[in-house]
Every structure is written in structure tokens, then in C-alpha cells.
Amino acid sequence: MMEAFGSEPRALLKELDLSFDGPHVVAIGGGHGLSKVLQSVLSYAGKVDAIVSVADDGGSSGRLAPHLDIPPPGDIRKCLVALTPDESIWKRLFEYRFEGADVAGHSLGNLILAGLADIDGSFEQALIRAERLLGASGSVIPSCRDHLVLRAESEGTVLTGQVNIAAHRGKIDAISVVPETAAATPRAIMAIEDADQIVIGPGSLMTSTIAAMRVPGITEAINRSRAQLVYVANLTTQDGETIGMDGIDHLDALMRLTGVRSPSAIVGNDQVIETTPPLQGVRFDPDITATFGADLVTADVVDTAAEWPSHDPGKLGGVLNAVTRQSFRSDP
């Protein structure tokens, strides 16, 4: 097992004679987990790209995407806000959610993105404009230009839609996206191929992390890339899609359902988390983990102030920074 490193200044990267101020980090996934990772990597990365799932069909996103023919904006908006360290009126507007009238439940940020897409004629151009408005310290890239539908197979049953799959209890045998002609955005492929470090997870394993990677072209680009691949494990299981799964089960599902290469490192939690059965903390057996060829890095990465089990961006950033430095020291 590889022990976690403490935080050190970004200046240490320069001591390693690297030709840049920090690594190019690409984070892949969706939802709350991806936004936490983005806040973490801002502490050490020289360049940050977020590649976001576009198969969300719940909440405000589920209401907007099919009617406006745009990718679901919710997870994308969360990532834009996470990449915006400075407070501003634009950041507050993107985080504002209506509570009444016809727009009840809608995030204003989602509506702004939809409006920008209509003005610019392109959702990708709308994101670039939004990044400038917010002063974001990185880029958000949809995994696909289209709004996708997630499909899963479980013991002979076909499940359709992110919400249905997330609530399903039972082993998932396959995950795909519809339409079958869907393809990864060229910007996403370029970012992955150019990355120094690729971070996948945490987040809903089936409906965020794997959903983003099942867009044709994403996993293939990861496997071609020479970047260090890091898997940040969830803190606890989710009632539904990962109930009863330990860390090895999570890793096996990730590789089995996507075909992705084994991670170079796995970041797990070493703190006890109080959960309500049948939920449980996600733990890895070090000996079994070693058979996957991955270094297991365990540390305190828990946000003790959060209302539910959540990663602390500062703690996680220190661990990911250390994992990055270890990779560079190991390179020939």
C-alpha cells in the first residue's frame, strides 16, 4: 500500500524541473462528486478540464434538455461554479434556484446556459462565454454534443434513464447510451490525450462516472493517453446502484462496464463514516487491490462539516497533488 502524502507548495513541481507550473488535469464524471474534485485540483493544477456526463434526466435538467435540444445543463453548471473560486454576482446568479411560479425548481444558471446556447447557436460556445462571465479557472466540456439517454441491463431486465438506473438494486451487466450514433466531442478527446493526470470519480458510479465514460470515444481516449489515471472512490455506497458493493466491487464494475485500463492509483478514505444500514463505507482490500496493478492511497478526505458524506476539497487536493508528484518522480 502506498501511504498518502501531506500537502506541499506547488513550487515543488518546479524543483522537479517540469516545464510548466502544474499538471494538466482532466476530471471525468458528473454531479456533486465531480464538482468536489474540480475544487480539489485547482490547488495544484496548471490547467483543468472537466468532461461531464450528459445523460441526466432528473430535476431542472430533465425538464429543459429534451424541450430545448441541449445537453442537460445541471451538472455542467455545477462544474462551472466549482471552477470559479472568486465570488461575484455572476456566480451568485448561476447558483440561484427559483422556489415559486412557473420556474419553480429551475436553477437560474441552467436557464442562462440555455439562453446563451440559443443566442450563440451552439451549446459549446455558450459554455465558453459562461466561463468568461464567471471568470472560471478551467474549462467544462460536455462528453457529447447531444442529450443522451442512459440504458442498463440487469439480469435480463432493461432499465432506461438515469433516474431509474440510480434507484435499481441489483447487479448491472451492461451500460450504454442512446442514440448508438453518439460520439465524444472533439474537445473532450483532445483534452484527454493532452492530459498529465486523469481523475475519474467520485460520484454515482453507474449514472455519473460510468455514464460519462460510456460515450463512444471517451474510454478509448483514456486508454490511449499516457496520463496518470487516478480513481477517487466514493465514501459510501448508494441505496440503489451500488448497494452492498465494497471498493473492489466498485473498481471491478468500473473496468468491466467501460473497458478502461486499470488506474495507476486509487484514492480511498481511511476514516470511519457513520451510515444508516443498508448503506456502508467503501473500503478496499489492499492485497486484492494490488492484483489490479494500482497503488492504494488511503487518507482522511472527509468533509466533517457536510450534511452528508462528502469529500473535503482541501484534503482531497492534498492527496491528489501528492499522487501527481509521486508519478513525476517515478517517470524515467
Q: What is the pLDDT of residues 71-103, one digit of tens each?
A: 888 899 999 999 998 999 999 999 998 876 666
So what's the pLDDT on residue 82? 96
For 157-193, what is each residue's pLDDT tens digit? 999 999 899 999 999 999 999 998 999 999 999 999 9
Spans of all domains in the chain: 2-53+143-330, 59-140
Residues 37 and 29 sit within 8 Å (Cβ to Cβ): yes
Q: What are the pLDDT digits (tens) for 300-331?
A: 999 999 999 999 999 999 999 999 987 665 55
Instruction: Specify the pLDDT at position 119.
Output: 93
Architecture (CATH level 2) of domain 2-53+143-330: 3-Layer(aba) Sandwich (3.40)
Tell me which long-range contacts 324-329 makes (C-beta under 8 A, separation of at least 24): 324/23, 324/25, 324/44, 324/196, 324/197, 324/228, 325/5, 325/8, 325/12, 325/13, 325/16, 326/2, 326/5, 327/197, 327/228, 327/264, 327/265, 328/13, 328/16, 328/18, 328/23, 329/16
